[in-house]
Amino acid sequence: MTPKILIIGACGQIGSELTFKLREIYGDKNVIASDISYSNLEIVNSGIFEILDAEDYAAIKVCVEKHDINTVYLMAAILSATGEKYPMKAWNLNMNSLFHVLNLAKAKFIKKVFWPSSIAVFGTTTPKKNTPQFTVMEPSTVYGITKQVGERWCEYYHNKYAVDIRSVRYPGIISWKTMPGGGTTDYAVEIYHKAITDKKYECFLKEDTALPMMFMDDAIKATVDIMSADNEDIKIRSSYNLSAISFTPKELAESIKQEIPDFTITYNPDFRQAIANSWPKSIDDSNAREDWNWKHKFSLQDITKEMLKQLGEKYKNQS
Ligand SMILES: NC(=O)c1ccc[n+]([C@@H]2O[C@H](COP(=O)([O-])OP(=O)(O)OC[C@H]3O[C@@H](n4cnc5c(N)ncnc54)[C@H](O)[C@@H]3O)[C@@H](O)[C@H]2O)c1
């Protein structure tokens, strides 16, 4: 099957880079980008783009039929920090959009679905180090609850209606092209911007808060890999643990100091500290490594070098 792809939420941090990668692999005419607004003009102007509300089943169905779509990547969501401010909005968007896409697959309008879960499915009662694939999951944020419930529904639609749903639990994603959209790991992107513009950063998490993280290129690779794996190799239909590296704000600051020696960091924890405290420090992703051969590439120092290089050029071109 040649994928004819619809990306919902394509203007966001991950959706934007996924759009470029999928167009590179499958060709511009086979990848339709969509979002609720024109918030990322690079995406809007880069190929076929549709305004689409992920909460509108009829509109998604019309778009799927118009473009003869067989594969949907559902990237629209409200993330952890924003979800705590707007709990019902997060619940409605995150759940309604998933049901719409699962129901389109159940009704055979589409054949394959990618939907990302998150490390936010875990909670304070989860083992924090090397968190196993199957373990206690009692999420404490609205966002985490939507992802945990979403996982259960994905598995249910696969078992009951043979929906080909594939999912990974992304850790915090670090990237330079598009700013992150209101998550607890956003500090690990903001810090690089501030390192370049101000040579100092005030972090909203404590210095010793270890969290699982990943460079965008690895996150996109995982997404492409799981979606192109053979059907029988995908043994988990809720969502796969996915891991690359783990570090604290202090360790991240040290890695920046290796490139910018006079960079300084201060700490002023806010409400996001409690969210971070409830999440794992590191993740056991051996199922993903065994089932569909997942491997990450980027170490912390690789990420720091690439982020400072790319953002340095971006800010230079703007001035
Ligand atoms: N970025 C991370 O660190 C991270 C970590 C774990 C999981 N995830 C998951 O990955 C997915 C993508 O995350 P992201 O970081 O790119 O998010 P983001 O906030 O950067 O982007 C989300 C996009 O969805 C769009 N959107 C919002 N409401 C919409 C609606 N009603 N209809 C259509 N589009 C709508 C927004 O305009 C935005 O462009 C989400 O499911 C998120 O939960 C992200």
pLDDT in tens, 52-104: 999 999 999 999 999 999 999 999 999 999 999 999 999 999 999 999 999 99
Pocket residue to mutate for ligand 1, from 34, 35, 97, most atoms within 8 A of Cβ: 35
Q: How far apart are the CA of 180 and the centre of ligand 1, in A?
A: 9
pLDDT tens profile 207-237 = 999 999 999 999 999 999 999 999 999 999 9
Selected catalytic residue, list 73, 86, 143, 161: 143
**Mean pLDDT on 237-252:** 98
What value does the mean pLDDT take over residues 137-166?
Answer: 98
DSSP secondary structure letter of residue 308: H
Burial 216-237 (b: 16+ CB within 10 A, else e): bbbbbbbbbbbbebeeeebebb
- CB-count exposure of residue 302 (10 Å: 0-12, 13-18, 19+): middle
With a cut of 90, say whether residue 2 has pLDDT above it.
no
Domain locations in the chain as residue ranges = 5-170, 173-213+244-318
Q: Are 28 and 51 in contact (CB under 8 A)?
A: no
**What is the percent of the chain where pLDDT is above 70?**
100
Active-site residue, 143 included:
yes
pTM of the model: 0.97
Of 3.40.50.720, 1.10.1370.30, 2.140.10.10, 3.50.50.60, which CATH number belongs to 5-170? 3.40.50.720
pLDDT at 40: 96
Task: Ligand 1: list residues with CB < 6 Å.
Answer: 8-9, 11-15, 35-37, 39, 52-55, 75-77, 79, 93, 116, 118, 170, 172-173, 180-181, 183, 185
Per-residue pLDDT, 207: 98
CA–CA distance from 232 to each of 56, 88, 155, 159 (Å)? 32, 37, 15, 14
Instruction: Determine the CATH number of domain 173-213+244-318.
Output: 3.40.50.720
| Average pLDDT in the chain | 97
Confidence (pLDDT) at 319:
80
> Is the model's pLDDT at 1 over the cut of 90?
no
Strand 245-247 versus strand 172-174 pairing type: unpaired
Instruction: Please report the pLDDT score of residue 318 as a whole number.
Output: 87
What whole-number distance in Å separates Cα of residue 223 and Cα of residue 117? Answer: 12
pLDDT at 52: 98
Q: CB of 105 within 8 A of CB of 153?
A: no
Query: pLDDT tens digits, residue range 3-31?
Result: 999 999 999 999 999 999 999 999 999 99
Buried b (16+ CB within 10 A) or exposed e, 56-87: ebebbbebbeebebbbbbbbbbbbbbbbbeee
The Cα–Cα gap between 114 and 97 comes to: 12
- pLDDT score at 255: 98
Assess contact for 170 and 154: CB atoms under 8 A: no
- CA-nearest of 263, 174, 171 to 215 is 174
Q: How far is the CA of 285 from the centre of ligand 1 (A)?
A: 23
Distance 35 CA to ligand 1 centre (A): 10
pLDDT of residue 169: 98
